[in-house]
Amino acid sequence: MSAAAEPAHREGPFAPAGSARARLRAATIDLVLQRGLDGVEAQELCARAGFDRAEFERCFDGVGDCALAVYLANIAEFDRALDAASAPGDPWRDRLRATAYVAARHVRDRPLSTRFDMVAMLAAGGLAQAHRDRYVRRIVDLIDEGRQELPDPEALGPTVAETIFGSIYQLLARELSGTGGTGRAEAVVPQLMFIAVRPYLGDEAAREELEISPPP
């Protein structure tokens, strides 16, 4: 499967879809996944994308800089999807479930981009790590809001949410490593909701999550 098989991206410097920069984004994901960040040369990347080499050098300080820009575009796209997932006034459990399904569908439809973000960019350095930490923190904080459902919110610490997120992340990482795809991402949401809800709302509420149908 090539990067071009994914939905067209419309993000920042890589918009509009079908443009030379959109092709550069797809080619960057494709080649970095094949060879790793250090195995891609700018000349080959530009040739794959049909992107002008002089323009590439004006815009990016090498392949690593281009890959970081692609990564940040992917994160911004994911952030927008999460922003639209639910209304701030909705109950915590409903917001968490809606966000989980939006996130699952997002990664399901973008297996290459998800592998690029989660695996290939691990070697991209401190700036990529800082941005990764930011969006991880956003999800952990949403899970941690479950403490407000307790009679005593201080009865559990924030590390519970971090542990829950770690379990979710590891499950997705295993799926990516085992199949190279994210086709089951939506199917595992009830299981992940069970894990996330149980510490805050108890066994009965957690078991209910296993039976709740996905939103349309």
* pLDDT tens figures, 149-164: 999 999 999 999 999 9
Q: How far apart are CA 37 and CA 122, in angstroms?
A: 10
What SS3 class is residue 33?
Answer: helix
Q: How far apart are CA 134 and CA 131, in angstroms?
A: 5
Single out the residue of 30, 31, 47 nearest to residue 39, CA to CA. Answer: 31
Contacts within 8 Å (CB) and 24+ apart, 169-172: 169/136, 172/107, 172/114, 172/118
- Write down the pTM of the prediction: 0.81
* pLDDT tens figures, 65-86: 999 999 989 988 888 888 888 8
Q: What angle do CA 82, 84, 89 make, to 5 degrees?
A: 100
Mean of per-residue pLDDT scores for the chain = 85
Mean predicted confidence (pLDDT) in 173-185: 67
11 confidence band (pLDDT: 50, 70, 90): very low
- Which range has the top average pLDDT, 128-132, 140-144, 171-175, 185-189? 140-144
pLDDT value of position 179: 57
* pLDDT tens figures, 99-117: 999 998 988 888 888 888 8
Task: Give the chain's domains with CATH numbers.
Answer: 1-63 (1.10.10), 85-211 (no CATH)
